[in-house]
Structure 1
Amino acid sequence: MLDNMIKCDNVVFKYTGNEVKEERVAIDGVNIEVKKGEFLVILGHNGSGKSTLAKHMNALLLPTEGKVYVDTMDTQQQDLLWEIRSKAGMVFQNPDNQLVATIVEEDVAFGPENLGIPSEEIRKRVDESLQTVNMYDYRRHAPHLLSGGQKQRVAIAGILAMRPQCIILDEPTAMLDPSGRKEVIKTITKLNRDLGITIILITHYMEEAVEADRIIVMDEGKVKLTGTPREVFSKVPEMKSIGLDVPQVTELAYELSKKGINISNDILTISEMVNALCQLR
């Protein structure tokens, strides 16, 4: 388990309503290992359990049954809570819910201040984190004046300033326009590739998942598919049966293949499609 950043060991989570005494199983016997430095994407439609699982990965929720370990620490050990959350930071769907200060640099400093980091080190971390997400020039701006993509990058900088080994992003681009989505995905890809930070991205945008090392597809609280983006997206009928799409070029390749055209069905990008079509001539 030493190389694991996150380990979910037969995790079950049940929601219990206040008015109705019926339990709803949101996660049903999930076993996942996330390696240090990995870029993992978790896909699934609404109600599949993916966001509930994400909240287990930094102890916002605790399993009803089974165990979750963050860098070998059991999330159910209350005395390790601060250490767990400083190792595995969380970025949510709406950046407005994570921005707490009236100036960008003060917002980024908020997490390290709560960890009791000395002032000089905080200053260094704030500057470095804002430079990493290309928001240093906006350090004295008011967050409410920023675009959605810029706000989300400031929220990521706030997590980065706490020096996490892992960042869990729960649909961070869901409320953004296409250019904002591109900004955020470019940022988190850079954090993974350049800094070696473990990334766990929860999304329903198939194009965002293409960059991942590995994809997990969830449905009805269970893991239904797992593999590289090429392996998972080439299973078009299985993805459709779960109610999910695949990248448009992958679907086009699948449909062309069905029509008898000799083309690979694991194409992920437009450039791959262009190359494949050129080779047909």
Structure 2
Amino acid sequence: MSKMIEVNNIQFQYKNNDDEGMLALNDVTVTVESGEFVVVIGHNGSGKSTLAKHMNALLLPTKGDVLVKGLNTKEEENIWNIRQTAGMVFQNPDNQIVATIVEEDVAFGPENLGVPPVEIIRRVEEALNIVDMLEYRGKAPHLLSGGQKQRIAIAGVIAMRPNCIIFDEPTAMLDPSGRKEVINTIKKLNKEENITIVHITHFMEEAVDADRVIVMENGQIVLEGKPKEVFSKVEQLKELGLDVPQITDLTNELIKEGIDLPQDILTVDEMVMRLCQLK
């Protein structure tokens, strides 16, 4: 696989009035491969959203470099291409919706890129179809649910044809039903459209199906690996103030009670299968 994003030994410091700011990222190095689904978790203030904003040049590192498909975010002439390559979806969909009709909103990005009108129509239809919102194309966004609004925001990014989409806590403001809609859309983008995904979240269940999980604490990466590897470290995660998926927690409690189960169970189906295998 080729490298989509390379973060090389970056530091980032938020400045305050005294010119002495907080070090939000401290010597962070990570690579995201093309087509990969990476989830970044950590409690509030761990640096995960700050890292996300570096991945499409919304923030520039105080020290070190970020490359997006080989383009350095510090070089101003690269910004346009970087943001076409790596799109971004934020917590609040209302902050990304700019039009009064769904299809006009999805068309906004391609129009600003100078895409021909015929191609815009095709992209809007394709993007709405991918997020299962085609039937709402003529609706007003303010009449939609939170999950539906977020899917419209995602469609607006898809219509600009990025190779990578960075999701900065896109389900934080949604109810469980809306979260499920958005997570299913994210998985579909990765598996069916082969879009590279970087998903920032504090919901542990959203990391279960990732290719790789990165755990952040105090502006540094403290754990990294496949979901089964990371979530098997229950005590370490809890020491960091993080939860684990409910099934993982249940598995850990059953093991403490002497039931012979592996520590890396992440889903209900896995749990049922393992329990049925016990004699």
TM-score range, shorter-chain basis?
over 0.9
Deviation at 1:280, TM superposition (A): 1.6
1:39 equivalent to 2:37? Answer yes
Residue 61 of structure 2 corresponds to 63
CA distance in 2, matches of 1:107, 1:207: 31
Q: 1:133 aligns with which of 109, 131, 134?
A: 131
C-alpha distance after superposition, 1:200-237 (max 9, x if no partner)? 00001011100100000000000000000000000001
SS in 1 for 2:192: helix
Structure 1 residue 22, shift from structure 2 partner: 2.5
The superposition leaves residues 111-160 of structure 1 with CA deviations (integer Å, 9 ceiling, x where unpaired) of 01111111111111011000110111101101000000000000000000
Q: State the AA in 2 paired with 1:30.
A: V
Q: Which of structure 1's runs of 4+ aligned residues deviate more than 2 A?
A: none
Matching residue of 1:241: 239
CA distance in 1, matches of 2:191, 2:211: 11
Aligned to 1:181: 179
SS at structure 2 position matched to 1:192: helix
Q: How does 1:1-281 map to 2 (within 5 A)?
A: 3-18=2-17, 20-281=18-279
The residue identity in structure 2 corresponding to 1:96 is: D
Distance in 2, Cα, partners of 1:22 & 1:66 = 19
- Matched to 2:87, the amino acid is G
CA distance in 1, matches of 2:19, 2:164: 36
Pairwise CA distance, 1:271: 1.2
* 1:65 counterpart letter in structure 2: K
2-side partners of 1:33 and 1:102: how far apart? 38
Q: Size of the alignment, in residue pairs? A: 279
Q: Deviations over 1:162-205 (max 9, x none)?
A: 00000000000000010100000000100100010000000010
The one-letter code sitting in structure 2 at the alignment partner of 1:34 is: V
| CA shift digits 1:91-127 (9 cap, x unpaired) | 0000000000011011001101111111111111011
Residue 261 of structure 1: how far off its partner (Å): 1.6
- Long gaps (5+) in structure 2: none
Sequence identity percentage = 63
Q: CA deviation at 1:81?
A: 0.8
Distance in 1, matches of 2:61 and 2:79, equals 15
1:11 maps to amino acid: I
Displacement after TM superposition at 1:259 (Å): 2.3
Give, in whole Å, the separation in 2 of the partners of 1:94 and 1:103. 18
| Distance in 2 between residues matched to 1:119 and 1:80, nearest whole Å | 26
The answer for unaligned runs of 5 or more in structure 1 is none
Deviations 1:26-65 (A, max 9, x none): 0000000000000000000000000000000000000000
Distance 2:138 2:257 in 1: 57
Question: Which deviates the most, 271-280 or 73-82?
Answer: 271-280
TM-score, L = length of structure 2: 0.99
